[in-house]
Structure 1
């Protein structure tokens, strides 16, 4: 299967941290001959947009992204070329695959061998340390792209590659068993609405915490067992304990950018409960009572995206129709307005951008 690869393409470029997005139509495309062993070139059909992309563009994290930068890390497309002398490639030209936040890792260090590829010191990060998916053609790596099952819509798959994988892994390692209670603050949001569904697949009972009639309707339709509106509740901790027979929840998955959600979780988790820290705020600190963390034998675990196996499992579940992403479809040229909506907190669910034809 051959594909005519153009010399230039359309891409959304941030020239420097905090600079405005520029839609450039003369961005170079790496030719097949220029690809290094292990690299592949993907013609993208679409890409999701994540809050991480906004942080990368603004440069407001403790870690700085490369500049100039093509952001994005939730892309789905077709492999059109693979670097010469690539050995034992698990994918081939013509395969439809996904590009994730973790673009590549060494696969040989202790972290990689233990399944923590995302913590590899040589990890490459899509749309952060290497150019990502806000472009028509992206270079990625054969060992880390995720095959997309036949029949699974590319637009529906895009956000599973980050938001889905992230909450799936956090639930997988939340030290819960079927029938246990898990609390999901921000349950009606981009990550939260997927977390509800993955939690139900895992057999958990879900307490959805968010605000507003629309989010309540969404959360309950997706399978949440109980709903708490944080603006209407006079005591969230007491409400959660009442729902769970006075004992508290077994786990909490916190994606919030503030420290209050973590502090509160220590109070409503039962003895032996697990707090999964998932959100990546730039400056907030994790605040919790040391006394009650110890006294209640609480586990606090950081969960950072996922490895290749987590991605394969999360995609497979969604491809079977057990998890569906709520998304709005826009164009690559709309990226600036999408970032504005994210900054103002006006984006519900996820945004997926179609690539120019």
Structure 2
């Protein structure tokens, strides 16, 4: 029997150009030895780094998730603060060029004039007097996470001026600050919901795949019933059942639990199908003969064997939950002010007339698209990296 027949195929980046005899230890280069001695997770990381789009998606998501713990210092304004003098004010984009010369980051101040014919405020930029944007400064007070008081901001409006990067809404609230604070809820809904989904999927899928028989049949029939129901109407029905007297925090957890409870069937089916094949492996049978309990066999021997695939599948499920929360809040069935999410902000853009006149109210669509695409690309990269048959 040829001993080289059982050796794994090496990726092209680790194979030396010159042919080598696998039985000869001297033929292995340092990179080849490093590959053979590496753990499963290290090999997955090496493969993942080669997926450039997935790596950049991970970086982008990391920047977005900075808004979760540090929304207050990043946002220049309180997202619920009203500016009566700047209702539906257009965006003030940051600039670095003034009169053809480089300049410190600045915005042009605006003044409002009432159009008596249309009864609308028209905003005119003063391009003669740029106002410098302040960085790492002290401004409005805030309470971070309900108990940390502070005044430090990464970016502050000019002294005596305004800085509305994404404009304002009908009450003069800064849309950009709302986007920063809205990321806290919209992004964590997916993480909390997928945690619930993974726990339920691993539990039901694990016992169905390991025990089989009537337990498998009952769980599979339950999964088929849940998957046969249309998702969005079911989300709407369960969200509408939440008491309107609940505080925003309870509504938040109610929405995440609803999303998690309805997403686990797909993951459970993947876990079940994998365990049906893995439970017949020699190491699983050896654990049974040694007297290991089913819980230990499932959690310590079977599930870790495809945990990387679970992570990739979970990553692809997060965008669905983000879109679910956005859709419910947009339809007024989820969170509402003073709680802020991207769906709550989009609720202001339900009227097509308002969207036509004030298009900046559609700004939450941009981060939603970026985050959903980034999660999809990241999931694709993780899935390819976790595939042991793909190099």
Tell which has more relative contact order, 1 or 2 (C-alpha 8 A, sep 6+): 2
Higher strand share: 1
TM-score for the superposition, normalised by structure 1? 0.25
Higher helix share: 2
